[in-house]
């Protein structure tokens, strides 16, 4: 097993000590229920043929059909997908939505594909996985380097294969194809709602709080935009090429406009369609992570904070918008220093929660207003943040351990409702 899956299992064991579940239930969660690996042939624009490896893991469906994104990335492999599927099981339980966990991916650098090649790959993935996914069994969604249009292609391909319109097979679709309002910024918005809960508990004045965002994709942009609008000072952001830093803070909407228009991250101020360069310091992602700020929001890929650099992290609060940005070894160093970590299975759960809303709307054929979606998401995020925060205080553990224990209690209850050794061993034959 690779380290990322071992990391996930180690955290399960640590949380078990604070959860009210039986050992048998924990053991079941250490083994994914089903795994699929496929080869996807794609005809390239020049007439040549490329074969890509695709993966899908169903981790656990005790609480409902499995749910989880599909990522296109050159480092995708089965062990990573297994870990991500496990985290999805926990995330859905944390948010108390009726899903189990799944995840999928293709080993590919999508930046090297044309748009037509990307469509062929997306449809090819569904063609190979059509019997492994479905509205009542496993519902995919976007993840790293996939988006609403790709989900639309996948939904359309599934509908063609099954000979019926099936919008509820995929979430994160374009609005015009049955997507939900509020899905686009849901991951970052969920993290923002967590920070607002912490703001209340600590009595922060937002204008006194500095924030850095590592990773300026969809989740990072949404979190930065909402925090900036509330008066938080976003002093640094980065993408895969590097970062920019300005002690007085950036005009975040300008950064987002320039990044999305040009695919380049630069220090600018935009008015209308005109952007002008402003003075800022260029920094690396490593330097950004080590800045002395109040809140660090890692929003890119997993494993960016490790045992090797954890002692350089100075932020008081870390809010994990990415999946698995902090390794278990790094956790120990950060917790010892007193850092407060809002874990990924809580902080980035806004995405799967609004995906659940989309699935419900698809099945009802009735769609909600944006204000209702925001209100429902904020209520759920606030409720579960409160449960986990209180559990951490009672058990005298960090937020990650409390979040895992909270999830285990819900999953364990569902498993035990079907009978475990304690039930069957006490059977008297009556």
By annotation, the residues acting in catalysis are 103
220: nearest Cα among 298, 292, 163, 152: 298
Residue 13, C-beta contacts closer than 8 angstroms, at least 6 positions apart: 26
- The helix (H) or strand (E) run that includes residue 422 is helix 421-425
- CA dihedral 229→234→238→244, nearest 10 degrees, is 120
- Residue 19 to residue 34: CA distance in whole angstroms: 26
Residue 209, C-beta contacts closer than 8 angstroms, at least 6 positions apart: 199, 232, 233, 294, 295
* Contact (Cβ atoms closer than 8 angstroms) between residue 403 and residue 211: no
249: nearest Cα among 307, 306, 201, 207: 207
Residue 182, C-beta contacts closer than 8 angstroms, at least 6 positions apart: 189, 354, 357, 370, 373, 374, 377
Please state the φ and ψ torsions of residue 53, each to the nearest 5 degrees: -95, 130
- Residue 188 to residue 220: CA distance in whole angstroms: 6
Compute the radius of gyration of the chain from its Cα atoms: 21
* Contact (Cβ atoms closer than 8 angstroms) between residue 186 and residue 193: no
* Contact (Cβ atoms closer than 8 angstroms) between residue 301 and residue 144: yes
* Contact (Cβ atoms closer than 8 angstroms) between residue 222 and residue 190: no
Long-range contacts of 380-383 (CB under 8 A, 24+ apart): 380/95, 380/96, 380/353, 381/190, 381/193, 381/194, 381/197, 381/349, 381/350, 381/353, 382/193, 382/197
SS3 content of the chain, % helix, strand, coil (to 5): 50, 20, 35
87: nearest Cα among 144, 148, 4, 22: 4
DSSP class per residue in 215-232: --SHHHHHHHHHHHHTT-
What is the maximum alpha-carbon separation in the chain?
80
Beta-carbon neighbour count of residue 119 at 10 Å? 19
């Amino acid at each position: 097993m690779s380290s990322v899956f071992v990391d996930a299992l180690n955290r399960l064991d640590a949380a078990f000590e604070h959860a009210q579940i039986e050992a048998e239930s924990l053991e079941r969660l250490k083994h994914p229920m089903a795994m699929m690996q496929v080869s996807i042939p794609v005809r390239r624009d020049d007439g040549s043929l490329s074969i890509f490896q695709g993966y899908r893991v169903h981790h656990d469906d005790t609480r409902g059909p499995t749910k989880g994104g599909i990522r296109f990335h050159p480092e995708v492999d089965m062990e990573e997908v297994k870990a991500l599927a496990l985290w999805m099981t926990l995330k859905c339980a944390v948010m108390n939505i009726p899903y189990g966990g799944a995840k999928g991916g293709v080993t590919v650098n999508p930046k090297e594909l044309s748009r037509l090649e990307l469509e062929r790959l997306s449809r090819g993935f569904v063609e190979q996985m059509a019997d492994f996914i479905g509205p009542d069994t496993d519902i995919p969604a976007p993840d790293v380097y996939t988006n609403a249009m790709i989900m639309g292609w996948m939904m359309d391909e599934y509908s063609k294969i099954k000979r019926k319109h099936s919008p509820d097979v995929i979430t994160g679709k374009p609005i015009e194809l049955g997507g939900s309002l509020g899905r686009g910024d849901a991951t970052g918005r969920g993290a923002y709602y967590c920070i607002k809960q912490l703001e209340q508990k600590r009595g922060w004045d937002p204008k006194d709080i500095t924030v850095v965002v590592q990773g300026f994709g969809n989740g990072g942009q949404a979190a930065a935009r909402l925090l900036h609008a509330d008066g938080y000072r976003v002093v640094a952001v980065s993408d895969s090429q590097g970062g920019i830093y300005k002690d007085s803070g950036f005009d975040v909407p300008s950064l987002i406009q320039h990044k999305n228009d040009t695919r380049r991250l630069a220090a600018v101020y935009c008015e209308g369609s005109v952007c002008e360069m402003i003075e800022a310091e260029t920094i690396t992602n490593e330097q950004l992570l080590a800045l002395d700020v109040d809140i660090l929001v890692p929003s890119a890929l997993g494993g960016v904070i490790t045992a090797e650099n954890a002692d350089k992290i100075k932020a008081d609060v870390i809010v994990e918008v990415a999946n698995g940005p902090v390794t278990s070894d790094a956790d120990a160093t950060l917790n010892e220093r007193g850092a407060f970590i809002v874990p990924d299975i809580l902080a980035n759960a806004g995405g799967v929660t609004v995906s659940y809303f989309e699935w419900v709307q698809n099945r009802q054929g009735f769609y909600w207003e944006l204000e209702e979606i925001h209100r429902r998401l904020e209520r759920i995020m606030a409720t579960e943040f409160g449960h986990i925060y209180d559990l951490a205080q009672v058990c005298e553990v960090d937020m990650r351990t409390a979040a895992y224990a909270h999830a285990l209690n819900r999953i364990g209850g569902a498993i035990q409702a079907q009978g475990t050794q304690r039930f069957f061993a006490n059977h008297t034959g009556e």
